[in-house]
Amino acid sequence: MAVFEVRQGTSPVILGFPHTGTEVPPPIWQRLNDNGRILADTDWHIHDLYEGLLPDATTVRATFHRYVIDANRDPEGISLYPGQNTTGLVPETDFDGVPIWQEGQGPTDADIAARLRDFHAPYHAALAAEIARVKAIHGVAVLYDCHSIRSHIPFLFEGKLPDFNIGTDMGKTCAPAIEAAAVETAAKAERYTHVLNGRFKGGWTTRHYGKPEAGVHAIQMELAQSTHLASEAPPFALDAAKAEGLRRHLRRMLQDIETIALDLNKFGQNLQN
């Protein structure tokens, strides 16, 4: 199987899709239990949701499922949210805390090392290469990491998740103007809720690549799946009407971020700070 898909564009914006893949190699699939085989924690339809919104954007998409290995986790296995429930580099459970592996078939240290080599590292090598390529063209690159999650998951957070969850690791991973553009668009989106650096502050990808002082900016968008799915339960079908309403706001957000990225290259530190 191809571990990742890349579509090169000319925009300073790169769209990352670490969690939309549903491919699970047969030897790993055979070890999952019935619950794991639902693949419930997929970012369902997110790459389709963003399709065509910024035509010149580069896209880098992992094709493997996060149960194989999570492309948005620290390869050292360090928790993104110490003290809070979360899932690891190779999850033992789903987002509800329910086991996903057959008894005695969970990942071993050797499994994790092999999956880091065969899946995690190649995806991030491709992503890093595209960031370097785009930065060489524009003098700046913006990684917009695309995610979604169910709006109610008591194991991970209380209550209902806001619709737009913007993560910049408390402003560390991108220029203030990029963060502000995302927040402004979300705030103007009628009937949608939003939060900046709430439960989701940006995953490992955002924190690893986001170095605004070096001209590489990163921002994570975690969308509540209630904004675009007909149901947050199997078969996780896309609701076309919901999706189209959401796409209008996402398009504006990406266009504004692209404009700011081009201005960052032109005006430099005046917009960095």
The tens digit of pLDDT for each residue in 240-257 reads: 999 999 999 999 999 999
- Which DSSP state fits 117? I
How is the beta sheet containing 13-17 ordered, strand by strand?
A: 4-7, 58-62, 13-17, 141-149, 216-224, 164-167, 194-196
Tell me the whole-structure pTM to 2 decimals.
0.95
> What pLDDT shows up at residue 269?
47
CA distances from 206 to 4, 8, 136 (A): 18, 20, 20
Q: Compute the distance between CA of residue 242 and CA of residue 207 in angstroms, rounded to an integer.
A: 30
> What pLDDT shows up at residue 87?
85
Mean per-residue pLDDT, 210-236: 97
Residues in contact with 169: Cβ distance below 8 Å, sequence separation at least 6, in sequence order: 197, 201, 202, 206, 207, 210
Length of the chain: 273
CB atoms closer than 10 angstroms to residue 23: 15
* pLDDT above 70: percentage of residues in the chain: 97
14-58 residue pLDDT tens:
999 999 999 999 999 999 999 999 999 999 999 999 999 999 999
- What band does 267 get if pLDDT is binned at 50, 70 and 90? low
What topology does CATH give the domain 4-271?
A: Aminopeptidase (3.40.630)
Backbone angles phi, psi at 147, to 5 degrees: -140, 165
